[in-house]
Amino acid sequence: MLAKGTILVFAAINLMMVTAYREELKRTISGCQNGAEVTDEELEEFEKPLIPKNNEEKCLMACVFKSFGVIVDGVFDPKLALAVAKDLLKSDPEKVKKITAVVEHCGDDIPKKMENDCELAGEIMKCYVKYEKEVGLA
């Protein structure tokens, strides 16, 4: 996902629906934007599983993934990403099954290590978007 990044991406995107997690995500995004306030509209936009369009969006996603430990030193850990998703979505076992399926699909599609964390985050999101409809997440 997949590695930590993938699982984190899935966890971040799908777990954001949980109120407590949404607040944590809001704080994380704010920290990634040098303390800038994050509106509910911006949070909703971030929660949509979209492929980042530019380097700024990729780097924001990378920052969030790194904050959750999904990307560490250019390495994505799909097992950790899945563990994060399971923890955050424990109240929605059906969603956990779907995220697990995406992680399994993406396992070989996402590079295990990249020099650029922003590019790695972009690759994680590309894979997520590619398989989300197939498993019923979209």
**Conformation bin of residue 136: beta by default, left when phi > 0, alpha when psi is -120 to 50:** left
Q: Does residue 2 sit within a domain?
A: no
pLDDT digit string, tens, across residues 89-106: 777 788 888 888 888 888
Query: What's the chain's Rg over C-alpha atoms?
Result: 13
Q: Does residue 123 sit within a domain?
A: yes
Q: Does residue 70 sit within a domain?
A: yes
3-state secondary structure at position 113: strand
CA distance 22 to 28: 10
Q: Which domain, by its residues, includes 37?
A: 14-135
CATH code assigned at 112 = 1.10.238.20
Q: Judge whether 95 and 16 are in contact, CB under 8 Å.
A: no
Could you tell me the pTM of the whole model? Answer: 0.76
Q: Picking from 1-5, 26-30, 53-57, 77-81, which range would have the lowest pLDDT averaged per residue?
A: 1-5
Q: Does residue 8 sit within a domain?
A: no
Total domain count for the chain? 1
| Residues 40-54, mean pLDDT to the nearest whole number | 83
Q: Which DSSP state fits 56?
A: H
